[in-house]
Chains A and B, each alone.
Chain A
Amino acid sequence: MDPSSMNSPELQNLLAQEKQKAMISEMISKLTSACWDKCITGSPGSKFSSSEANCLTNCAQRYMDMSLIIMKRLQQ
Chain B
Amino acid sequence: MDSFSLPSSGSPPKLSTDDIMTQLRTQLEQAYAEEFLETVRGKCFDKCITKPGSSLSGSESSCISRCIDRYMEATGIIGKALFNQRH
A27 within 8 A of B: yes
Whether A44 contacts B67 in the complex (CB less than 8 A), given A10-B17, A18-B25, A68-B87, comes out as yes
Identify which of A25, A28, A44, A68 gathers the most chain B CB atoms within 10 Å of its CB: A44
Q: Chain B, interface size: which category?
A: 35 or more
B81 within 8 A of A: yes
Whether A32 contacts B18 in the complex (CB less than 8 A), given A18-B24, A22-B28, comes out as no
Q: Chain A, interface size: which category?
A: 35 or more
Residues of B within 8 A of A (CB): 1, 14-21, 24-25, 28, 32, 35-36, 39, 43-44, 47-48, 63, 66-67, 69-71, 73-75, 77-82, 85, 87
